[in-house]
Chains A and B, each alone.
Chain A
Amino acid sequence: MLGLNKTDSKFLLIVILLTLFTPFLMQPFAADSGLDQFNGGYPDLMQKVAIFGIFAVGFNILFGLTGYLSFGHAAFLGMGSYAAVWMFKLLTMNVIPAILLSMIVSGLLAVIIGYISLRRSGIYFSILTLAFAQMCYKMAYSVLTPITNGETGLQLSLSDPRILDGATESTSLPVTNIFGLAMNSSYKLEALNRVFTFNVGFYFCAVIAIIAFYIAIRLFRSPFGMMLRAVKSNQTRMNYMGLNTKPYTLAAFVISGMYAGLAGGLLAAMDPLAGADRMLWTASGEVVIMTILGGAGTLMGPVLGAGVIKYLENIFSKINESVLHSWFHWLPDGLEEVVVWVFARFTGEGWHLTLGLTFMLVVTFLPGGLVEGIKRLKKLTKRGGKPKDKLDAPDPEHTPTPSKHVV
């Protein structure tokens, strides 16, 4: 299918189905079951999962394949957002031109940053990208205020020209749309004691995420992807084989920068404002965490990582002490206090603590991320069952083992 082999086609199909049925899948608990707070089927969260999935998949094209650890990808995310909002202000509220411009602009930025940063490798590369991203961030706050609107952030206003949309007499701000269909419109379905929300914005992001994921599969399986993995594995050999590795790594850098720009554009398309905070290096750190947590170098890992982190972030932040008390009210009084206190450190405001700890544990014990964890579990259950059949072994050509990260 679509130039993919059987395994990959099946894989893609599963991803497509999972994505399309997300509104159901993320709403597993009935409204009155008391577990309602674990439901994640609201548009904002689902959109974020899809968008950060794109961001992480793009980051993985660079880090997972070539091993170059960039700490500056947030610059492209922020750039994408600014570009999109400017498109909304100047041209039209239709999201298509906006995200196209996001990709182009961040791609150009990636050419410049990549061309310079890729002259060095290893830790120097990480620091250079970090320096560039911080520079963009600081500039967005200072020199570029006319473009970025500084600390307030770039927002829509009624006086914007919006050439294609024409003048309106409306006194409220227009909403982003795709050929007239508003991004924030939703269809709600009440069934099985649950409310399922089908949101235009989410499905728009989902379709783009699927396309982005499909392109990533093609890249991973292509000779180009193989070359990139070879760069990660042994640069010396590449050089002594007559290959100048720079164009390959630069291409990977630009592609992954464009993915980040696309994600930034989509963020703006869902909520048309852009701030310099998106360029802060903690945002770069976030995508690094997502990719590693899911499994760098694997296809599914980054998506999984983005989904898990965004979901848990939402859920954990909502669990406050009163929720915890309602959970543990059956415990003896003194013990309840202790248990609630301990849990409260990791939930609500303590979400970042949980994130940091989880990340440390994954890096230490499971360098291949969740994907490797799932593989190990599968192996364990198989070993418990029947002796391992040789034919069951995955074709190593199509499931490259997540290799150690080489900077």
Chain B
Amino acid sequence: MGILEVKGVGKRFGGLQALGDVNLSVQENTVHAIIGPNGAGKSTLLNCLVGKLIPDTGSVTFDGNSVLGRKPHEINQMGISRVFQTPEIFGDLTVMENVLIPCFAKRDGAFRMHAYESIEQEPDIVNKAEQMLIDVNMIEKRHMTGSSLSRGDKRRLEMAMCLAQDPRLLLLDEPTAGMARADTNNTIDLLKQIKEERDITMAIIEHDMHVVFSLADRITVLAQGTPLVEDTPDNIKGHPKVKEAYLGETQEV
């Protein structure tokens, strides 16, 4: 029994069957990659996991509890954090403040005013936020505003924000899309480090096979809304069905 269980999930947009009968089991403390060509339904699947979309059929359970029909903030409180394809950060706030917010947002998400104390009066939280920035190697940029960062930095910042919540499951939507090779490698190293240092489960949606094969413990290949194969990276390499699905794509498999 995995920490995240997807059973028979299907989703239709008008005449398009975006997902049809997806079964997926993500084991605790592993990195599970979901790959597939464009239009395979990867993003739809991810949106179903975080409550942005509600699937037409099937069930999604996290740690035994259903996530379907819950609001995004409730799903997050269950312990699922999401890194977006286009980084969703607080553009008007400084890098430090960006990380302070998830540190203040307690796990239960309960509303606390904190209206009459200053941020400096909470050294524990400030230290934690600083540690997060050190982890993602952004501490020297703490005073910059979010919108002035480069794309790679925004990603790293978003990752720090998600990690600051100590999630049990981290969902990454194409964490290296649009990145230069060097930045990609930095991100891979960062993710590897996170994987080693923390008890965390990761589900990655990714195009770049280099990233997938350096990180994943298990890989699910999606094609046209249905899972094609699920196996270890070594077995996926050279799998005939996968090659077929990717035919015409310029990915090195």
Contact = CB atoms under 8 A, between A and B. Distances in A.
B102 interface: yes
Contacts of A243: 73, 101, 105, 109
B122 A223 contact: yes
A396 B109 contact: no
A138 B182 CA distance: 65
Contacts of B84: 240
Contact of B73 (A3, A223, A232, A244): A244
A243 B84 CA distance: 17
B94 A396 contact: yes
A230 B90 contact: yes
A52 to B, nearest CB: 24
A226 B129 CA distance: 14
A404 B128 CA distance: 30
A236 B86 CA distance: 12
Contacts of B93: 226, 229-230, 233
Interface size class of A (residues with CB under 8 A): 35 or more
B244 interface: no
B44 to A, nearest CB: 17
A37 interface: no
Interface string A231-243: 0111011111111
Contacts of B247: none
A227 B104 contact: yes
Contact of B88 (A227, A237, A247, A251): A237
Given A242-B105, A247-B111, A236 B122 contact: no
A401 interface: yes
A223 B117 contact: yes
B73 A239 contact: yes
Interface string B93-132: 1101100111011010101011111111110000000000
B145 A241 contact: no
Contacts of B90: 229-230, 233-234, 237
Contacts of A145: none
A223 B161 contact: no
B97 A242 contact: no
A256 to B, nearest CB: 13
B203 interface: no
Given A233-B91, A233-B92, A241-B161, A401 B145 contact: yes
B165 interface: yes
B143 A236 contact: no
A397 interface: yes
B76 interface: yes
Nearest to B97: A226
A314 interface: no
A396 B73 contact: no
A404 B145 CA distance: 13
Contacts of A244: 71, 73, 109, 111
B76 to A, nearest CB: 4
A232 B120 CA distance: 22
Interface string B65-90: 00000011110110001101000111
B76 A240 contact: yes
B119 to A, nearest CB: 6
Contacts of A401: 92, 145
Interface residues on B, range: 35 or more
Given A236-B88, A251-B113, A396-B145, A223 B107 contact: no
Interface stretch (A90-98, A112-120, A214-222, A352-360): A214-222
A403 interface: yes
B92 A240 contact: no
Interface in B198-242: none
B111 A226 contact: no
B22 interface: no
Interface string A111-153: 0000000000000000000000000000000000000000000
A395 B183 CA distance: 29
Choose among A229, A234, A251 the residue with the greatest number of B CB atoms under 10 Å from its CB: A234
Contacts of B94: 396-397
A248 B89 contact: no
Contacts of A239: 71-73, 76
Interface in A10-63: none
B141 to A, nearest CB: 11
Contacts of B118: 3-5, 218, 221-222
A227 B101 contact: yes
A224 interface: yes
B92 A223 contact: no
Contacts of A241: 73, 76, 81, 101-102, 105, 161, 165
B45 interface: no
B50 interface: yes
5 contacts: A222-B118, A229-B90, A240-B84, A244-B71, A401-B145
Interface of A: 3-5, 218-219, 221-227, 229-230, 232-234, 236-244, 247-248, 251, 395-397, 400-401, 403-404
Given A233-B146, A237-B89, 11 more contacts: A5-B118, A5-B120, A221-B118, A222-B115, A227-B104, A230-B97, A237-B88, A237-B161, A239-B71, A242-B74, A242-B109
The 10 closest A-B pairs by CB, nearest first: A242-B76, A247-B111, A223-B114, A224-B115, A233-B90, A403-B92, A233-B92, A242-B109, A237-B88, A242-B77
